[in-house]
């Protein structure tokens, strides 16, 4: 049944044929009980006690959920705990002092291992130093560090003294840093002199100096000396050397501050629709319980594992699944400073091999790059330690999904395609690898206890296979509590559109478009804006992209609409090819058009196919469709410095010019 507005019209979204996890995986899985979905539903919200039980509480909570003031839900109220105690101290107490907590792999092949005891010492000393600088409970400390061990150490030191951290991705500009520090009134900053990007030493301190000039308030700044003589720097007023502080407080211990479950653990800025960054607020109890539970149930992390999430800690994925989730479970978490292709394209597989990584979690954009580079790179290494693979951050279509399972997972490892957001704090949609079959191209059902619904404009469930809005009908522990300083904006952005407060009905809107099948498996199609209107029919750009990336030789594709005249939209497809297939290859171009026509219909075939060596990506690795749309329309592109690969823009414009 099609609805009036065009959502949901048309055909079902294709997924690959179902695949089952191997028995060997299921037998050892943390969660293998098929009744888990039913149990969570029956016991909701008490079911979430299982997540809370993974933590150590200073004081037990009185209620699992308090929902008298929606959409401001409160979880595990009355409970008290400390996140750093949960991620560090309790593992020492359990006799796991010498167990590796962090294995760090540096850009130039440097390696460091922090045992739980080492991490305890570092976190305590730095917590003592922060206190001495004046940091009090509830003061926001900004952290602007690349992927070096001092980053999680600083986060945990803040958590220990009850000071919320606000990590700003190290690659962001001085303006971005200043805006975020200003918005959070943050008077403390932990940063470094510089770091390596590709082969080069890069000056971070210069950006910090500029940001500080732009701020009206003073900032106490701690500087980690990462580059030594390579980038000499002089410390000025209110600047402190990290290593000197550690020495000054050598051997110091600080009692973990007992925090209310609902006290803020951290702030994470994410881009808003209006352009102003939104400070998403996460709390101590619900967030930590949810990331620990999903690390256990979805990523199947066990204490004896070596687990690796290749994201940057500067984004939510790194917060939840490099730092808090894995460390709460007492496992070994790998941290890598470099890029996947330096010094060569087998770098990640070398790290998996050497560390005998059990579980590997990465982004679809990385998987598509691996596929583009070819299977020879994973083949160079012994990857047999791997038990489970995961992806997060963007949709992954069946071909790269299958490639990943086949060439990295030896055809055996289950692959979990996990959907979530900065605002959701932790995974909400995925298969449970010990319970469910997998359908490449679909993330999976809502996790146990998560009420995912794909609805139309009127709030009614769409039929299987049709496109609608991805919403969540019940609260969950890891959810954002509000936007920093913006309760009204929080309600407006996420709750207003599909809630009916008069009827007492509240529904979270993710901003994503999705389809759901008969089994409740959700295929996320991207942001709702990534739907284009061609002759009155709404087409999902992701669906077209999926048909394009199905073509052999195609590595990545991004589809946008070009408005021509008043109504009609032309379809532009930007395509990068795999090694061995020449860009602009006419055979590839023809197959692309044929494939889209067969998969969706002539209405969706691209009018223009632009070959490019790479697609423009944000620093967190997401394809910048907005920019590609501006290029197609010949619009002003504005500032492109936030891109990871700004140089590609000129090449694409030149390619279009030649067409
Ligand atoms: C964790 C993270 C959130 C947006 C989200 C959606 C996209 C994330 C996805 C996915 C399809 C998946 N997204 N996981 N799309 N399939 N498995 O990435 O957080 O940076 O806030 O981005 O990413 O569009 O709304 P964040």
Q: Give the three-class secondary structure for 186.
A: coil
Q: Is 509 in the same domain as 563?
A: no
Lowest mean pLDDT among 4-8, 155-159, 288-292: 4-8
pLDDT digits (tens, 9 = 90+) for 231-246: 888 899 999 999 999 9
Per-residue pLDDT band for 8 (boundaries 50, 70, 90) equals very low
Residues 508 and 557 in one domain: no
Strand-pairing partners, residue 569, are: 563
DSSP 263: S
Nearest CA to ligand 1 atom 15: 394
Q: Is residue 436 part of a domain?
A: no
How far, in Å, is the centroid of ligand 1 from the Cα of 212?
32
Pocket of ligand 1 (CB under 6 A): 270, 315-317, 392-395, 417-422, 443, 510-512, 524, 526-527, 620
Question: Please, what is the end-to-end C-alpha distance for the chain in angstroms?
Answer: 41
Report CA(508)–ligand 1 centroid distance (Å). 15
Give the pLDDT confidence score for residue 541 in this predicted structure: 86
Question: What pLDDT does residue 659 have?
Answer: 52
Q: Which element (helix H / strand E) includes 285?
A: helix 285-297
Residue nearest to atom 19 of ligand 1 (CA): 421
Tell me how far apart the alpha carbons of residues 392 and 416 are, in angstroms, rounded to a whole number: 9
**Same-domain status, 178 and 237:** yes
Instruction: Mark 276-287 as b/e (b = at least 16 C-beta within 10 Å).
Output: ebbbbbbbbbbb
CATH of the domain at 552: 3.30.300.30
Which domain does 615 fall in, by range?
530-657
- Give residue 385 CA to ligand 1 midpoint distance, Å: 28
Number of domains in the chain: 3
Same domain, 319 and 270: yes
Within a 10 A sphere around the Cβ of 104, how many other Cβ atoms?
18
Mutate to test the pocket of ligand 1, among 15, 325, 524, 621 (most ligand atoms within 8 A of CB): 524
Tokens of 426: 């932790």
Assign residue 464 the CATH number of its domain: 2.30.38.10
Q: Which atom of ligand 1 approaches the CA of 429 most closely?
A: 17
- Decide if 400 is inside a domain: no
- The pLDDT value recorded for residue 1 is 31
Q: How many CB atoms lie within 10 A of CB 607?
A: 16
164, exposed or middle or buried, with CB in 10 Å at 0-12, 13-18, 19+?
buried
CATH number assigned to the domain comprising residue 92: 3.40.50.12780
Question: What's the pLDDT tens digit per position in 268-285?
Answer: 998 654 457 899 999 999
Of residues 581 and 517, more confidence is placed in 517
> Which whole number is the average pLDDT over 476-489?
96
Taking only Cα atoms into account, the Rg of the chain, rounded to an integer number of angstroms, comes to: 24
CA-nearest residue for atom 16, ligand 1, is 395
Residue 276 lies in a domain: yes
Contacts within 8 Å (CB) and 24+ apart, 183-187: 183/269, 183/277, 183/279, 183/484, 183/485, 184/140, 184/142, 184/267, 184/279, 184/484, 185/140, 185/217, 186/139, 186/140, 186/141, 186/142, 186/219, 187/139, 187/217, 187/218, 187/219, 187/220
315 C-alpha to ligand 1 centroid (Å) = 11
Q: Residues for the chain: how many in total? A: 659
Residue nearest to atom 2 of ligand 1 (CA): 421
Please give the model's pTM, rounded to 2 decimal places. Answer: 0.90
Q: Of ligand 1's atoms, which has the minimum distance to the CA of residue 622?
A: 23
Q: Judge if 175 and 253 occupy the same domain.
A: yes
Distance 66 CA to ligand 1 centre (A): 28
For the beta carbon of residue 141, count every other beta carbon within 10 angstroms.
27
* Tokens 């999926």, located at residue: 546
Alpha carbon of 555 to ligand 1 centroid (Å): 20
Distance 421 CA to ligand 1 centre (A): 5
Burial of 275 (0-12, 13-18, 19+ CB in 10 A): exposed
The lowest-confidence range among 206-210, 295-299, 345-349, 535-539 is 535-539
Better-predicted residue by pLDDT, 493 or 534: 493
pLDDT of res. 467: 85
Pocket test for ligand 1, best of 394, 441, 479, 546 (most atoms within 8 A of CB): 394
Inform me whether the pLDDT recorded for 50 exceeds 90: yes
Q: How far is CA 573 from CA 593, 631, 640, in A?
A: 10, 12, 20
388, 394, 351: which is closest to 369 by C-alpha?
Answer: 394
Q: What is the mean pLDDT of residues 184-189?
A: 97
pLDDT at 658 over 70: no
Give residue 2's pLDDT.
Answer: 33
Position 10 scores a pLDDT of 42
Tell me what pLDDT residue 581 has.
67
DSSP sequence for 2-54? --TTSTT-S-PPP-PPPB---HHHHHH-S---TTHHHHHHHHTTGGGHHHHTT
Pocket test for ligand 1, best of 280, 313, 420 (most atoms within 8 A of CB): 420
Beta sheet of 415-418, edge-to-edge order: 111-115, 100-105, 332-336, 306-309, 359-362, 388-392, 415-418
CA 391 – ligand 1 centroid, Å: 10
Centroid of ligand 1 to alpha carbon of 136 (angstroms) = 34
Substitution site in 421, 480, 483, 531 for ligand 1 pocket (most atoms within 8 Å of beta carbon): 421
If you take atom 17 of ligand 1, which residue's CA is the nearest one?
Answer: 419
Could you tell me the distance, in angstroms and rounded to a whole number, from the CA of residue 520 to the centre of ligand 1? Answer: 19
**Is residue 177 a part of any domain in this protein?**
yes
Q: Per DSSP, what are the bridge partners of residue 306?
A: 332
**Residues 474/508, Cβ–Cβ less than 8 Å:** no
Q: Number of helices and strands (H, E) in the chain?
A: 22, 30
Ligand 1 mean position to 526 CA, how many Å?
Answer: 8
Three-state secondary structure call for residue 423: coil
Percent pLDDT > 70 in the chain is 95
Does residue 565 sit in the same domain as residue 627?
Answer: yes
293-316 per-position pLDDT tens digit = 999 999 999 999 999 999 999 999
Q: 647-656 long-range CB contacts below 8 Å, 24 or more apart?
A: 648/612, 648/613, 648/614, 648/615, 648/616, 649/616, 651/612, 651/613, 652/574, 652/610, 652/612, 652/616, 652/628, 655/610, 655/611, 655/612, 656/608, 656/610, 656/631, 656/632
Q: Are 524 and 419 in contact (CB under 8 A)?
A: yes
DSSP letter for each residue of 586-622? HHHHHHHHHHHHHHT-GGGS-SEEEE-SS--BBTTS-
**187: CA distance to ligand 1 center in Å?**
31
pLDDT value for 419: 98
Instruction: State residue 261's pLDDT score.
Output: 98
At residue 13, the pLDDT reads: 58
pLDDT digits (tens, 9 = 90+) for 135-181: 999 999 999 999 999 999 999 999 999 999 999 999 888 988 999 99
Q: Looking at ligand 1, which atom is closest to the CA of residue 396? A: 16
Other C-beta atoms within 10 Å of 186: how many? 24
- Give residue 364 CA to ligand 1 midpoint distance, Å: 11
Q: Which residues of 206-245 are buried (b: 16+ CB within 10 A; e: fewer)?
A: ebbeebbeebeeebbbbbbbbbeeebebeeeeebbbbeeb
H-only helix segments in 301-430: 316-318, 325-328, 347-355, 364-373, 376-379, 398-403
Q: Is 536 exposed, middle or buried (0-12, 13-18, 19+ CB in 10 A)?
A: exposed
> Is 6's pLDDT higher than 60?
no
Q: Angle at Cα 369 formed by Cα 368 and Cα 374, nearest 5°?
A: 100
> Omega before 71 cis (within 30°)?
yes
Q: What is the mean pLDDT of residues 374-379?
A: 97
Residues 519 and 585 in one domain: no
Closest ligand 1 atom to residue 422 Cα is 21
State whether 215 and 158 are in the same domain: yes
The verdict on 249 and 182 lying in the same domain is: yes
* 117 sits in which H/E element: helix 116-133
- Domain assignment present for 270: yes
CA gap 514, 428 in Å, rounded: 14
Mutate to test the pocket of ligand 1, among 295, 393, 470 (most ligand atoms within 8 A of CB): 393
Contact between 289 and 45 under an 8 Å Cβ cutoff? The reply is no
In this prediction, residue 241 carries a pLDDT of 98
- What local confidence, expressed as pLDDT, does residue 534 receive? 78
Pocket test for ligand 1, best of 419, 483, 494, 626 (most atoms within 8 A of CB): 419
Q: Are residues 649 and 585 in the same domain?
A: yes
518/640 same-domain check: no
Residue 446 CA to ligand 1 center (angstroms) comes to 14
Average pLDDT of the segment spanning 324-337: 98
Q: Which residues are CB-neighbours of 68 under 8 A, at least 6 positions away? A: none
* C-alpha 226, offset from chain centre: 26
Residue that is last in its domain, among 331, 363, 385: 331
pLDDT of residue 476: 98
Does residue 416 belong to any structural domain of this protein? Answer: no
Q: Would you say 372 and 576 are in contact if contact means Cβ atoms under 8 Å apart?
A: yes
Structure tokens at 255: 């009692």
Instruction: Grade residue 579 by pLDDT with cuts at 50, 70 and 90.
Output: confident
Q: Specify the pLDDT at position 275.
A: 57
Tell me which of 275, 298, 331 is where a domain ends: 331
631, 511: one domain: no
Model confidence pLDDT, tens digit, residues 514-528? 999 999 999 998 888
Compute the mean pLDDT over every residue in the chain, rounded to the nearest whole number: 92
Residue 462 inside a domain? The answer is yes
Q: Is the pLDDT of residue 413 over 80?
A: yes
pLDDT at 329: 98
Residue nearest to atom 24 of ligand 1 (CA): 526
Q: For residues 218 and 185, is the Cβ–Cβ distance under 8 A? A: no
Please count the CA atoms within 13 angstroms of the CA of 38 that sit on its side-chain side: 4
Domain membership flag for residue 5: no
Nearest atom, ligand 1, residue 423 CA: 21
């Amino acid at each position: 049944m099609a609805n009036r507005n065009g959502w949901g019209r048309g055909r079902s979204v294709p997924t690959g044929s179902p695949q089952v996890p191997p028995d060997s995986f299921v037998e050892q899985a943390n969660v293998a009980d098929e009744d888990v979905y039913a149990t969570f539903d029956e016991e909701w919200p008490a079911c979430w006690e299982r997540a809370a039980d993974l933590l150590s509480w200073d004081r037990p909570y009185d209620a699992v959920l308090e929902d008298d003031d929606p959409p401001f839900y409160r979880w595990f109220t009355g409970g008290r705990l400390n996140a750093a105690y949960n991620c560090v101290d309790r593992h020492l107490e359990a006799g796991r002092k010498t167990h590796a907590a962090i294995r760090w792999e540096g850009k130039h092949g440097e390696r460091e291992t922090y045992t739980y005891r080492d991490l305890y010492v570092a976190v305590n000393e730095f917590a003592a130093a922060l206190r001495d600088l004046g940091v009090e409970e509830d003061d926001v400390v900004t952290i602007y560090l690349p992927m070096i061990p001092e980053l999680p150490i600083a986060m945990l030191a803040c958590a220990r003294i009850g000071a919320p951290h606000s990590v700003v991705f190290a690659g962001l500009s001085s303006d971005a840093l200043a805006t975020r520090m200003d918005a959070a009134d943050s008077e403390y900053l932990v940063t470094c002199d510089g770091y390596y990007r590709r082969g080069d030493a890069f000056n971070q301190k210069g950006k910090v100096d500029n940001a500080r000039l732009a701020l009206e308030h003073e900032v106490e700044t701690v500087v980690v000396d990462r580059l030594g003589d390579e980038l000499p720097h002089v410390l000025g007023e209110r600047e402190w050397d990290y290593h000197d502080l550690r020495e000054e407080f050598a051997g110091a211990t600080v009692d973990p501050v007992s925090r209310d479950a609902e006290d803020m653990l951290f702030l994470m800025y994410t881009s808003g629709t209006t352009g102003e960054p939104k400070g998403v607020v996460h709390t101590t109890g619900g967030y930590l319980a949810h990331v620990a539970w999903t690390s256990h149930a979805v990523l199947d992390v066990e204490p004896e594992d070596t687990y690796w999430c290749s994201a940057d800690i500067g984004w939510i994925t790194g917060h939840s699944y490099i730092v808090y989730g894995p460390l709460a479970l007492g496992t070994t978490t790998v941290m890598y400073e470099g890029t996947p292709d330096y010094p060569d394209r087998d770098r990640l597989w070398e790290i998996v091999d050497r560390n005998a990584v059990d579980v590997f979690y990465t982004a679809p954009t990385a998987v598509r790059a691996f596929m583009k580079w070819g299977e020879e790179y994973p083949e160079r290494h012994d990857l047999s330690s791997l038990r489970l693979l995961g992806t997060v951050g963007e949709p992954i279509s069946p071909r790269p999904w299958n490639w990943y399972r086949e060439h990295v997972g030896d055809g055996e490892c289950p692959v979990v395609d996990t959907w979530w957001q900065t605002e959701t704090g932790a995974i909400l949609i995925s298969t449970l690898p010990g319970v469910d079959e997998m359908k490449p191209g679909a993330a999976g059902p809502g996790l146990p206890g998560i009420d995912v619904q794909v609805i139309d404009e009127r709030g009614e469930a769409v039929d299987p296979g049709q496109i609608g809005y991805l919403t969540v009908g019940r609260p969950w522990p890891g959810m954002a509590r509000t936007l920093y300083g913006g309760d009204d904006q929080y309600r407006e952005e996420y709750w207003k559109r599909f809630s009916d407060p008069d009827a007492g009905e509240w529904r979270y809107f993710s901003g994503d478009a999705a389809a759901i099948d008969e089994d409740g498996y959700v295929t996320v199609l991207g942001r709702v804006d990534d739907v284009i209107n061609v002759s009155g029919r709404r087409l999902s750009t992701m669906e077209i992209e999926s048909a394009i990336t199905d073509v052999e030789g195609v590595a990545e594709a991004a589809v946008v609409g070009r408005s021509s005249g008043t109504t009609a939209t032309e379809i532009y497809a930007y395509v990068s090819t795999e090694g061995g297939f020449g860009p602009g290859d006419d055979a590839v171009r023809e197959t692309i058009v044929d494939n889209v026509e067969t998969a969706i219909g002539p209405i969706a075939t691209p009018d223009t196919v632009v070959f490019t060596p790479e697609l423009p990506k944000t620093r967190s690795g997401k394809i910048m469709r907005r920019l590609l749309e501006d290029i197609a329309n010949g619009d002003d592109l504005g500032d492109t410095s936030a891109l990871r690969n700004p140089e590609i823009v000129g090449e694409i414009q030149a390619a279009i010019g030649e067409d």
